[in-house]
Amino acid sequence: MLAAVMVVEGILRTPEGEGHYDTGWSLYQALAKNTRLYLLSAVWTEEQSRLWLAKRELRGHINYIHQPAAGPAGRLEALERLRSWRVGLVLEPDPTCAAAELDAGWNTAVITHAAYSQPQWRPDYPGTPRPWDDLTEAVERQTELRLTPHRTEQP
C-alpha cells in the first residue's frame, strides 16, 4: 500500500486561517481510504492540528509530523525523519520545497490552488521554459537517488 505525506498548509488548510480547501478535503478523504496517509505541518503543533482536523471529522490519517523549521531545509529535515516509513509520494503546495524534495529523491506532486498559485508555476506563464538538458539531468539524478540505498546512522 502506498504511503503518502500531505502538507497541511496550502493543500488541506488555507495558509492564512482556519479554513479548508474543498479539493484538499476530498483528496484527504480519498487518500485516507486508499493509502497510509501522514500529515505534515510547519505552522501548527500536533495539538492545534488535531483539534482543527477533529472539527472537520478528518480522522483517517496514520500520523502527524511537525516540521520545526520553515522552508525547504526544514521540510527536508522533517521528511528525512520519515525515510524508513517508505513514503512513495509527497503532496506539496510549495514549488520551492517541491524542487528541494525532488533533488533529494522524493516523489513529489505539487498541488496548487488557483487563488494561491505562483504565476511562474501556471501553465499559461509567459516566461522561458526550463532547458531540456536541465530536466533530463534532474530526472537522472532522481533515478540515481531512488536506486541508492539510504542508510540512517544509529548513535
Q: What is the pLDDT of residues 41-66, one digit of tens each?
A: 988 888 888 888 888 888 889 889 99
154 assigned to some structural domain: no
Q: Is a pLDDT exceeding 70 seen at residue 24? A: yes
Q: What is the pLDDT of residue 126?
A: 63
Q: What is the pLDDT of residue 147?
A: 77
Tell whether 152 is covered by a domain: no
Residue 8 has what pLDDT? 92
Summarised one tens digit per residue, pLDDT across range 81-134 is: 888 888 999 999 988 899 999 999 999 999 987 655 555 655 566 666 667 777
Cell numbers describing residue 103:
533533488
In this model, does residue 143 exceed pLDDT 80? Answer: no
**The pLDDT of residue 29:** 93
**CATH, residue 102:** 3.40.50.1000
* Tally of domains within the chain: 1
123 in a structural domain: yes
Q: What is the pLDDT of residue 106?
A: 94
Are the C-beta atoms of residues 64 and 91 closer than 8 Å to each other? no
Number of Cβ within 10 Å of residue 55's Cβ equals 10
Cα-Cα-Cα-Cα dihedral sign, residues 80, 86, 92, 97: positive
**pLDDT surpassing 90 at residue 76:** yes
Domain with 11, as residue range(s), is 3-147
Confidence check: pLDDT of 77 > 80: yes
Note the pLDDT of residue 105: 92
